[in-house]
Amino acid sequence: MIDLKVLREDPEAVRASQRARGEDGGAVDALLSADERRRSAVSRADTLRAEQKQFGKQVGKARGEERDALLAKGKELAAEVKAAEAEQSEAEKELDQAHRALPNLVDTAAPVGGEDDYTVLEHVGTPREFDFTPLDHLDLGVRLGALDMERGAKVSGSRFYFLTGIGARLQLALLNLAAAQATEAGYSLMVPPVLVRPEIMAGTGFLGAHASEIYRLEEDDLYLVGTSEVPLAGYHADEILDLSAGPRRYAGWSTCFRREAGSYGKDTRGIIRVHQFDKIELFTYCAPADAAAEHQRLLAWEKELLAKIEVPYRVIDTATGDLGTSAARKFDTEAWVPTQQSYRELTSTSNCTTFQARRLNIRYRDENGKPQVVATLNGTGATTRWLVAILENHQQADGSVVVPAALRPYLGLEVIEPIA
RNA sequence: GGAGGAUUCGCAUAGUGGCCUAGUGCGCACGAUUGGAAAUCGUGUUGGGUGUUAAAACCCUCGGGGGUUCAAAUCCCCCAUCCUCCGCCA
């Protein structure tokens, strides 16, 4: 939810943000009038309640006929209060709905436009020239005994897979590397629940436009998370944090589940786009004033990790129209995938400012000891998809794959050889 | 799945319809005392909303929601969470 004070003081800024996202400006005016209605309803109900309270005290003292008269009048007042309270709660419900319907305000520094209007901030490394025809990650994975899509489909359907043998070990090595770096950087490593309650899922902003992406367990009214951002954001819901020692940083290690609805036919080969994968997710709670700097730090940590797997990549500043509901700004890193001759997203870091925290009621005490809403940010540590970039970029003519130096201590191998 | 118990201000507790504007202890903050400290004494100490330039004032908040009543921490109903036990399953 956005800050209603900002809305009241500068509705035009909110409308501009909506336009930048390519969304409806009418939602802004709906929210403004809902806010107006709620305030007048609250004020009416407050006045009546005050009157009734004073009145109730007189009844307690009165006796006899006087008491009977007061009781009659009291009944009237009670009915009025009840009506005013019903009006108030109706107005509050409407406000909440309108409030939650509005996505976060975009950062004015983010490039305006649709999916393809991102800005490339930098290129790191140079795509390798192959003197042989490189195999894609699926062919490589099968030859190395690392990946089995067919049995994944047999057991669970399309977009499911088994990481087998060295594939499973490679993923563990990668996630351990990421977990170790995150721990060193001051993140607390967390293994969170991957099933969450509706209010937590809604609080992180995933039940709006992207609800169809999410698995829901109807019987239990729980959602499977698409990233541990969700449980990590919920971790401090309804709390007032002490941030006097600096931001709270968590690294979540979890499996992630995505329905990939609407992506039929896209990336059907291999493990680029799958229903289930593993990820280390970086998550920060900090004072809103520190959020932009923390966002840069998250990006820097992602780049540090990418350097360790030694793949060429670029960094993009995502356009406003392609931002998630909660994000004000988002930087993606995209690794070069040789067999696709293109860059594919490996990490994504979003500054959600106070948007999620306002929904989840997460605050901190400012220097005056007053509760204020915190800012939340998230970024990718490492994911299953990284295996694609590692395998393809480090393959050799004989079908073996050189293990990047930083991964060797975690895998215990310098080269992964084909099994047959 | 079943039975019982619990949920009150950071923590611990008191509170069985109006004197609860929620008491007490601990903790915490500030002050007094002291050469300084401990002890002691005093004052303050949930969060949110309406309102205001700011304040004042007012309203809500005793796990959540609903109900009874002129009036609910207190009575009734539903739900959540935690604990104990039984059953079932792994």
Asked if the structure places residue A394 within a domain, the reply is yes
Asked if the structure places residue A107 within a domain, the reply is no
First-to-last alpha carbon distance for chain A, in angstroms, is: 56
Nearest-nucleotide field for A74 (CA, C1')? B70
- Give pLDDT, residue A301: 97
Say if residue A77 is in the same domain as residue A145: no
What DSSP letter does each residue of A47-78 carry, written as one string?
Answer: HHHHHHHHHHHHHHH--HHHHHHHHHHHHHHH
Can you tell me whether residue A371 is helix, strand or coil? strand
Lowest mean pLDDT among A220-229, A304-313, A324-333: A220-229
A333 annotated as belonging to a binding site for a ligand: no
Say if residue A228 is in the same domain as residue A293: yes
CA A220, C1' B2: Å apart? 20
Token pair, residue A91, equals 């107005």
* Beta strand residue intervals within A182-241, DSSP E: 188-190, 195-196, 216-217, 222-224, 240-241
With a cut of 90, say whether residue A120 has pLDDT above it: yes
Say if residue A66 is in the same domain as residue A128: no
CA A128, C1' B73: Å apart? 72
Cα–Cα distance for residue pair A159/A150, rounded to 1 Å:
10
- Give pLDDT, residue A7: 92
Last residue within a domain, chosen from A47, A67, A101: A101
Task: Tell me, yes or no, if A273 is annotated catalytic.
Answer: yes
Between strands A342-351 and A216-217, the pairing is unpaired
Report the DSSP beta bridge partners of residue A284: A249, A377
Lowest mean pLDDT among A59-68, A217-226, A301-310, A361-370: A59-68
What percentage of residues in chain A have a pLDDT greater than 70? 98
Q: Which domain holds residue A231?
A: 119-416
Cα–Cα distance for residue pair A38/A44, rounded to 1 Å:
10
Cα–Cα distance for residue pair A144/A165, rounded to 1 Å:
9
- Smallest CA–C1' distance to B47, residue: A371
Does the ipTM exceed 0.85? Answer: no
**A397 Cβ contact partners less than 8 Å away, ≥ 6 residues apart:** A131, A132
Can you tell me whether residue A18 is helix, strand or coil? helix
| CATH code of the domain covering residue A198 | 3.30.930.10
Tokens 């040789």 sit on residue:
A338
Say if residue A286 is in the same domain as residue A317: yes
What DSSP letter does each residue of A327-350 carry, written as one string?
Answer: -SEEEEEEEEEGGGTEEEEEEEEE
How far is residue A191 from each of residues A228, A285, A371, measured CA to CA in Å? Answer: 9, 17, 29
Token pair, residue A41, equals 């309803």
Cα–Cα distance for residue pair A142/A35, rounded to 1 Å:
58
Cα–Cα distance for residue pair A83/A334, rounded to 1 Å:
57
What percentage of residues in chain A have a pLDDT greater than 90? 67
Asked if the structure places residue A114 within a domain, the reply is no
Say if residue A123 is in the same domain as residue A80: no
Predicted confidence (pLDDT) per residue in A378-418, tens digit: 999 999 999 999 999 999 999 999 999 999 999 999 999 99
In 3-state terms, chain A is what percent helix, strand and coil (to 5)?
45, 20, 35
- Give pLDDT, residue A239: 84
Tokens 């409030």 sit on residue:
A99
Last residue within a domain, chosen from A101, A132, A152: A101
Report the DSSP beta bridge partners of residue A329: A351
Nearest-nucleotide field for A49 (CA, C1')? B59
- Confidence class for position A114, pLDDT limits 50, 70, 90: very high
> Which bases of strand B have any atom within 7 Å of the beta carbon of a protein residue?
18, 47-51, 58-60, 66, 69-71
Task: Tell me, yes or no, if A159 is annotated catalytic.
Answer: no
A193: Cβ under 7 Å from strand B? no
Asked if the structure places residue A249 within a domain, the reply is yes
Helices A64-101/A26-61 angle, 10° precision: 160
Token pair, residue A99, equals 């409030």
Say if residue A178 is in the same domain as residue A123: yes
- Give pLDDT, residue A64: 67
Between strands A162-163 and A188-190, the pairing is unpaired
Predicted confidence (pLDDT) per residue in A256-295, tens digit: 999 998 888 889 899 999 999 999 999 999 999 999 999 9
State the average pLDDT over residues A298-325. 96
Say if residue A79 is in the same domain as residue A127: no
- Cβ < 7 Å from strand B, A residues 367-386: 371
With a cut of 80, say whether residue A62 has pLDDT above it: no
State the average pLDDT over residues A233-244. 86
With a cut of 80, say whether residue A61 has pLDDT above it: no
Asked if the structure places residue A108 within a domain, the reply is no
Of A44, A197, A273, A408, catalytic: A273
CA A42, C1' B51: Å apart? 11
Asked if the structure places residue A112 within a domain, the reply is no
Say if residue A137 is in the same domain as residue A209: yes
Residue-wise over A167-202: b if at least 16 C-beta within 10 A, else e? bebbbebbbbbbbbbbeeeebeebebebebeeebbb
Longest dimension (CA), chain A: 105
Cα–Cα distance for residue pair A166/A281, rounded to 1 Å:
23
Say if residue A87 is in the same domain as residue A129: no
Predicted confidence (pLDDT) per residue in A343-374, tens digit: 999 999 999 999 999 988 888 888 877 888 99
Asked if the structure places residue A299 within a domain, the reply is yes
Say if residue A175 is in the same domain as residue A276: yes
* Higher per-residue confidence, A177 vs A241: A177
Tell me what the pLDDT averaged over chain A comes to.
92
Contact A378, A352 (CB under 8 A): yes
* Beta strand residue intervals within A105-182, DSSP E: 119-124, 147-148, 162-163
Say if residue A241 is in the same domain as residue A317: yes
CA atoms within 13 A on the CB side of A358: 18
Task: Tell me, yes or no, if A414 is annotated catalytic.
Answer: no
Cα–Cα distance for residue pair A36/A395, rounded to 1 Å:
63
State the average pLDDT over residues A204-220. 83
A44: Cβ under 7 Å from strand B? no
Task: Tell me, yes or no, if A345 is annotated catalytic.
Answer: yes
- Cβ < 7 Å from strand B, A residues 289-318: none
Last residue within a domain, chosen from A38, A66, A101: A101
Task: Tell me, yes or no, if A239 is annotated catalytic.
Answer: no
CA A370, C1' B13: Å apart? 28
Overall number of domains in chain A: 2
* Higher per-residue confidence, A61 vs A178: A178
Asked if the structure places residue A185 within a domain, the reply is yes
| CATH code of the domain covering residue A63 | 1.10.287.40
